[in-house]
Amino acid sequence: MKKLVVFITAVMLFSCGKKEKEAEEYNPATATENATTSADPSSYDPKRGEGKFDNVELGPTLDQAMASKGEEVSSVKCTSCHKLTDEKLVGPGWKGVTERRKPEWIMNFITNPDPMIDKDPEVQAQLEICLVRMPNQGLSDDDARNILEYMRKNDGVK
């Protein structure tokens, strides 16, 4: 029993020491410097955003299967912060987003939000209202495309 107590104590001390070391290695000045360096607004295209999507082909009608998959993914990853109306929850509501933004911009923002938040003046203005940065949810390209189709459905595309 005594050996078990010593072992548990040693594990706890080792774990605590590691967390302290990690905290020491974090340097807010370096983090701020890196964010500033990556936020070069001159290289930013406000129509497509920043990311790998240059051309997203949308069909003239809604792909119901994709929209259903998008609804499933968004119920897990998105709806805790976004409403389907124009009402703000944590983040802005989704109503009309596919009318205001190009599909490339939406796909790039879903899959790559951080550089876009750092560079896009409209997103920065929205951040001042919402006060919370959209986290990178690590969504696949297919998940992002399905969510885009669900957004189109929400905006009335048939």
Amino acid identity at 14: F
Instruction: Provide, rounded to the nearest whole percent, the portion of the chain with pLDDT above 70.
Output: 73
Strand segments, DSSP code E, in the chain are none
What's residue 47's pLDDT? Answer: 87
Q: Which residue has the tokens 């389907």?
A: 84
- How far is the C-alpha of 5 from the C-alpha of 116, rounded, in Å? 51
Return mean pLDDT, the chain: 82
What's residue 15's pLDDT? Answer: 45
Question: Which carries the bigger pLDDT value, residue 34 or residue 152?
Answer: 152
Query: Does 134 have pLDDT greater than 90?
Result: yes
Q: Is 65 exposed, middle or buried (0-12, 13-18, 19+ CB in 10 A)?
A: exposed
What's residue 122's pLDDT? Answer: 93
Query: Does 140 have pLDDT greater than 90?
Result: yes
